[in-house]
């Protein structure tokens, strides 16, 4: 099913150009998305750097000029140029080839220190844990980038819909208030002439207050939409949402997709990291010597050396004991976090499918309500010669409002389906035809 959904990417997308262009613009202006890109690029760099162990560091270190002045005032100057080629972290080993050249100004003479090859490794290098940490950081950064993209996409979709929905809702509500005010004025005259009750006036006053409050709420919702969007943009957006939600996986397939989510994979790696650290927690109590093997060459002679060096705090302030306890507690903590995340995703998945069913039911209710409003309006329209103008206008507005609410119900259904894709870890921007 996931392949079927992804296959939609190859459908011609020129129809959705205006909407996808807006998505791209929003991404370019989103600070959270741009920040996620930086974090992703950093994680990708650290991950690739660790894998490119075959690329050496070639450097000149501590090169400089040195002048010695004796007590008699004699001065001698020399220039040193150390050179090294270092391959780092080859299965925990560091390999360095080095040399140094000296130039003495007083004698106009060059001297060479001699080439040397040094292979060194810490006994407990834990290079495998470092690799896992880079993979976990990359998975986390990838998920955060995906989440930032989807958030921008969903915010734009909501913004476009709200702009059109609340504009239409405001126009309908204003006309409904005008009709109610006309009815109120007519009732006042009827009350003065004794043909209407006080209760009728209070009831319609209450309706006016309710509609006025609704109008204020609509205006408040509309004020949050700062950009105007064309009807074509709305239509292409709805068509885009219908397209990407046309082939949703069933519950059983979705449960499999959840296990491949990047954030869940990152947490699985975190558990493995914590497990290995816990298994090696004994390293807190013993020295970590650095072993080395060196071959030195000078002129035609070679010298070999083999040895190790280490440092160890014989007495500390409890750091080793504290670190030992923390490392073992972190393993249990990471396992619990994984269990909680897995349970949360399963609940979110069930809620997503429940939301789709609720949205489908709401759409059916809206369709029935529209039929009733349409029938009522057509009935009054046929007998318009015997129906008050305000009643006919009110029926027309109720019919238009029912059409708008059906449009909203259909949108809510599409959003419920899109939220399912978001939970499953799909790239909504890419599905829509973006980058």
* Mean pLDDT for back-to-back runs of 10 residues, the chain (435 residues): 41 55 92 96 92 88 82 79 90 90 85 88 88 95 97 95 95 93 87 83 91 92 85 94 93 89 95 94 86 83 85 85 92 96 95 97 97 94 84 93 97 97 95 86
pLDDT (0 to 100) of residue 3: 43
- Whether 140 is in a domain gets the answer yes
Give the contacts of 375 (CB within 8 A, at least 6 positions apart): none
- Whether 312 is in a domain gets the answer no
- Whether 301 is in a domain gets the answer no
Q: What is the 3-state composition of the chain as percent helix, strand, coil, each rounded to the nearest 5?
A: 65, 15, 20
- CA-to-CA dists, residue 249 to 102, 265, 412, angstroms: 71, 21, 19
- Whether 297 is in a domain gets the answer no
pLDDT (0 to 100) of residue 4: 39
pLDDT (0 to 100) of residue 395: 93
**Domains in the chain, number:** 1
- For residues 293 and 305, the answer to whether their CB atoms sit within 8 Å is yes
- What pTM was computed for the model? 0.83
Q: Where in the sequence is the domain holding 387, given as residue range(s)?
A: 2-54+128-289+318-431
3-state secondary structure of 218: helix
- Whether 89 is in a domain gets the answer no
- Whether 298 is in a domain gets the answer no
pLDDT (0 to 100) of residue 92: 86
pLDDT (0 to 100) of residue 373: 95
pLDDT (0 to 100) of residue 435: 78
- Whether 143 is in a domain gets the answer yes
pLDDT (0 to 100) of residue 109: 86
pLDDT (0 to 100) of residue 77: 85
pLDDT (0 to 100) of residue 2: 43
CATH number at residue 20: 1.20.1600.10
Quick one: how far is CA 404 from the chain centroid? Answer: 33
pLDDT (0 to 100) of residue 209: 94
- For residues 381 and 393, the answer to whether their CB atoms sit within 8 Å is no
- Whether 392 is in a domain gets the answer yes
pLDDT (0 to 100) of residue 76: 81
């Amino acid at each position: 099913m996931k392949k079927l959904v992804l296959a939609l990417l190859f459908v011609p997308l020129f129809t959705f150009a205006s909407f996808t262009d807006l998505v791209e613009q929003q991404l370019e202006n989103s600070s959270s998305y741009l920040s996620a890109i930086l974090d992703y690029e950093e994680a990708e760099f650290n991950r690739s750097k660790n894998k490119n162990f075959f690329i050496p560091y070639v450097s000149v270190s501590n090169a400089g000029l040195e002048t010695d002045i004796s007590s008699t005032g004699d001065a001698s100057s020399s220039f040193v140029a150390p050179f090294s080629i270092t391959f780092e972290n080859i299965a925990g080993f560091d390999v360095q080839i080095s040399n140094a050249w000296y130039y003495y100004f007083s004698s106009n003479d060059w001297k060479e220190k001699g080439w040397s090859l040094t292979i060194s490794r810490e006994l407990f290098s834990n290079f495998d844990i470092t690799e896992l940490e880079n993979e976990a950081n990359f998975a986390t950064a990838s998920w955060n980038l995906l989440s930032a993209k989807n958030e921008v996409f969903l915010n734009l979709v909501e913004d476009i819909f709200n702009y059109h929905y609340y504009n239409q809702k405001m126009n309908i509500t204003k006309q409904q208030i005008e009709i109610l005010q006309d009815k109120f004025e007519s009732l006042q005259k009827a009350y003065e002439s004794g043909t209407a009750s006080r209760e009728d006036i209070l009831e319609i006053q209450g309706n006016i207050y309710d509609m006025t409050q609704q109008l204020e709420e609509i205006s408040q919702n509309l004020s949050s939409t700062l950009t105007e969007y064309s009807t074509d943009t709305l239509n292409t957006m709805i068509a885009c949402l219908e397209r990407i939600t046309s082939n949703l996986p069933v519950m059983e397939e979705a449960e499999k997709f959840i296990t491949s989510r990047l954030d869940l994979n990152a947490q699985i790696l975190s558990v493995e990291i914590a497990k290995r650290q816990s298994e090696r927690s004994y390293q807190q109590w013993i020295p970590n010597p650095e072993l080395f093997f060196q071959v030195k060459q000078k002129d035609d002679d070679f010298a070999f050396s083999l040895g190790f060096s280490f440092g160890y705090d014989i007495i500390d302030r409890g750091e080793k004991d504290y670190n030992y306890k923390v490392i073992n507690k972190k393993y249990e903590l990471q396992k619990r976090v994984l269990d909680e995340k897995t349970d949360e995703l399963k609940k979110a998945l069930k809620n997503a499918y429940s939301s789709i069913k609720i949205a489908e039911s709401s759409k059916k209710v809206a369709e029935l309500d529209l039929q009733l409003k349409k029938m009522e309006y057509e009935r009054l329209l046929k007998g318009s010669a015997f129906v008050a103008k305000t009643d006919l206008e009110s029926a027309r507005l109720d019919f238009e409002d029912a059409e708008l609410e059906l449009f909203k119900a259909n949108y809510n259904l599409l959003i419920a389906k899109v939220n399912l894709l978001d939970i499953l870890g799909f790239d909504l921007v890419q599905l829509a035809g973006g980058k």
